[in-house]
Amino acid sequence: MEEVNASSHKTSSIERWFQYGKEGAAALAPVIDKGLRRIQKYFNFPNIVYAFALVVTIVAGPCVLVAGLLILSRWGK
């Protein structure tokens, strides 16, 4: 019986993209953390979670609005 070495495993193209995503997230983490800390300090939030919630709301709000308008525009036809 043939032994399979873990290092001989070939990654698929999808696994490769996930690996790139993890590396990119790890590289951007200090920048994002610094930005969230600045927002926390500017708005005088007691916790960094409030700054994160503000950023998520600012980004997700328009995305949901546009998606909703696109869906509603198709219903009228």
pLDDT tens for the chain, 77 residues: list them.
Answer: 555 555 556 667 778 878 888 888 888 899 999 999 999 999 999 999 999 999 999 999 999 999 999 988 887 66
* Predicted model pTM: 0.65
Residue 16: what residue type? R
Convert the pLDDT of each residue in 15-37 to its tens digit: 887 888 888 888 889 999 999 99
d(CA 48, CA 35): 10
Overall domain count for the chain: 1
71 lies in some domain? yes
d(CA 5, CA 64): 46
Domain of 26 in residue numbering reads as 13-75
30 lies in some domain? yes
Going by the DSSP 8-state scheme, the letter that residue 76 receives in this structure is: T
- Alpha-carbon separation of residue 6 from 23, 41, 52, 77 (angstroms): 21, 47, 38, 55
pLDDT of residue 22: 85
d(CA 19, CA 26): 11
pLDDT of residue 62: 96
8 lies in some domain? no
